[in-house]
Amino acid sequence: MTNPPLGVTCPSSRDRARRLSAHRARPSLPRQPAGINMADAVKTIRALARGLDVLQLLQSSGALTLHALHQQTGLPKATILRILKTLRERGMVWQRMADDAYVPSYSLVEQAGRMDRELALVETASPLLERLSDRIRWPSVLAVPRLTHMEVIETNASRAYFDQIPLGPVGFRVNMLRSASGRAFVTFCEPPVREAILETLRRSEHAGDAKARNPDYIAHLMRETEAQGYGLRDPDFGGDFDRGRAQADDGRESLAVPILLGSHVPGTLNITWSRRVHGRESGAARFAGPVREAAEAVADLLAKRP
Helices (H) and strands (E) in the chain, counts: 9, 8
Q: Where are the domains of the chain?
A: 42-104, 114-304
Q: How confident is the model at residue 29 (pLDDT cuts 50, 70, 90)?
A: very low
For residue 143, name the pLDDT band (cuts at 50, 70, 90). very high
Which of the following CATH numbers is that of domain 42-104: 2.40.30.10, 3.40.50.450, 1.10.10.10, 1.25.40.10? Answer: 1.10.10.10
pLDDT attached to residue 4: 46
The answer, yes or no, to whether residue 280 has pLDDT greater than 90, is: yes
Band the pLDDT of 44: cuts 50, 70, 90.
Answer: low
Judged against a pLDDT cut of 50, whether residue 5 lies above it is answered with: no
Residues 156, 169 contacting (CB under 8 angstroms): no
42-104 and 114-304 have identical folds: no
Residue 161: which of 253, 273, 278, 270 has the closest Cα?
Answer: 273
Average pLDDT, the chain: 84
User: Above 80 in pLDDT, residue 20?
Assistant: no
Name the fold adopted by 114-304.
Beta-Lactamase (3.30.450)
**How many angstroms separate the CA atoms of 181 and 259, rounded?**
11
Peptide bond into 169 cis (omega under 30): yes
What is the structure's pLDDT at 8?
41
